[in-house]
Amino acid sequence: MEVLPLCLLVLVGFALLLANGWAVVDARGVAADAAREAARAFAEAPADLDPWAEASGAALRAVDSTGRSRQRISVRIDAVGHRRCSPVTVEVTYRVPTSWLPGTSGGPQLGVVRARHTTVVDPYRSGLSGDGCG
């Protein structure tokens, strides 16, 4: 009979460990989606808008759509410029919170996940400089 509380404690501890592990896996998908959307927004941004602002906004909207906190991400955009065929790489970093109880987040961060996506600006995009991808 004395073993029952110990078994219950081990079971709860294992469930929390499993939930925190899944939070890291889930955050990796969120970061990958945000990086992909940001790179796409940069590559498809109209010539009269700031592509860096468009990309950052797209990453934040992607994180918002999952219900995650936008304060936990950072977006780094590596691009020479907004010209035809120029490559752009977006790296999104998401700080994963530790979950002490189901449905809560607080305490120290569990880890940091990073996702990176690279694409090129559309070679046939009108209004941009560059001769194409030659």
Residues 35-81 pLDDT 10s: 999 999 999 988 889 999 999 999 999 999 998 888 989 999 999 88
| Residue-level pLDDT at 102 | 56
| Residue-level pLDDT at 73 | 92
Q: Where are the domains of the chain?
A: 3-120
Q: Is the dihedral of CA 84, 60, 72, 30 positive or negative?
A: negative
DSSP 8-state secondary structure symbol assigned to residue 37:
H
Ranking 27-41, 89-103, 119-133 by mean pLDDT, the lowest is 119-133
- In angstroms, the CA 128 to CA 125 distance is 6
pTM value?
Answer: 0.79
Ranking 2-11, 47-56, 112-121, 123-132 by mean pLDDT, the lowest is 123-132
Structure tokens at 103: 């449905």
Q: Fill in the amino acid letter for 10.
A: V
